Structure 1
Amino acid sequence: MGMDSRNDGGDRPFWMTVPLSRMTRQQWESLCDGCGRCCLHKLRDDETEEIVFTDVACRLLDTTTCLCKDYPHRQRKVQDCISLTPDMLKDIDWLPPTCGYRLIQEGRPLPWWHPLVSGRADTVHEAGVSVSGRVISERRAGALEDHVVEWPGECPPGADGTQAPDIPSRE
């Protein structure tokens, strides 16, 4: 398993033993599964406060790999990009149900496809959780209202468990 995946030589992974507020930066960053769902534009209804998802990605998101094209400088280039912290989690209502940060905050286990569990970054794509190939860049999208979708707020079939189903690879 990758570096920092265990807690002080114990047999349980750090995400099960270390409180979010005490994680090292490397541990915290590794909770991100690389799905890209949080990098999609969302709309909030002014009256109901309801969040609706779109299939429009931030201009810095590589829509194939789901990686930020300039992660270290993203906040200078995209004004509303946030740097997620443990303290913010309780107030954020737009993280997808598959998000590692959200799952750990809620005391739930990481799923089988999470890179910390599987040991491979590709399992987030193989499980159908990532936005890879399913989104459009904000530079080409036009009106966000024309791109409202439900899937970013849902967990794909078979992706919610801790045991991997027998799924074919996307290769």
Structure 2
Amino acid sequence: MKSSAPFWEVKKLKDMSRREWESLCDGCGRCCLVKLEDEDTGDIYTTDVSCKLLNCDTCRCKSYANRHDIVDDCIKLDPGNVTELGWLPDTCAYRLIWEEKPLHDWHPLISGTPESVHAAGISVRGKVTSEDQVALEDLPSRICDWP
């Protein structure tokens, strides 16, 4: 008997199809922000500077299929590394599913529209600048707290 519950409530991340996996992305753009690591403590700090491939208006990658070839340190999120990426936002569906928590009401899979993540103020839309526009030495002054 097939479950009537949505796939994200009954499947583990490792058991999801590629289509299901990709649909978990809420389009917030937060994973595409430049992060700085304190060499002494290992603490990770998020900036308001995005990867050069992030379209700051749509919060989607300009070259998703080729992103790993273009950006050397682009991390491919997969079921094997979700648990190791402590910088994933608390709102991230991949993190929520792994932690066995429900998706937020604004998540596109719940709301039915990709605009809900922006309307809820969760996305980086209108809040970031592309790394192409920021000097490397200025990155520490761009550290910010995200809700």
Report the TM range for the smaller structure's normalisation.
Answer: over 0.9
Identical columns (%): 50
**Could you say which residue in structure 1 is the equivalent of 2:142?**
147
CA distance in 1, matches of 2:2, 2:130: 43
**TM-score of the superposed pair, with normalisation by structure 2:** 0.95
Structural mapping, 1:1-171, within 5 Å: 9-142=2-135, 143-151=138-146, 154=147
CA distance in 2, matches of 1:9, 1:34: 29
State the 4+ residue runs in structure 1 displaced beyond 2 angstroms.
none
CA positional deviation for 1:141: 1.4
**TM-score of the superposed pair, with normalisation by structure 1:** 0.82
**Could you say which residue in structure 2 is the equivalent of 1:4?**
none
CA positional deviation for 1:103: 0.6
Aligned positions, number = 145
CA positional deviation for 1:36: 0.1
Unaligned runs of at least 5 residues, structure 2 = none
Higher relative contact order (CA 8 A, sep 6+): 2
CA-atom RMSD, angstroms? 1.0
SS at match of 2:61: coil
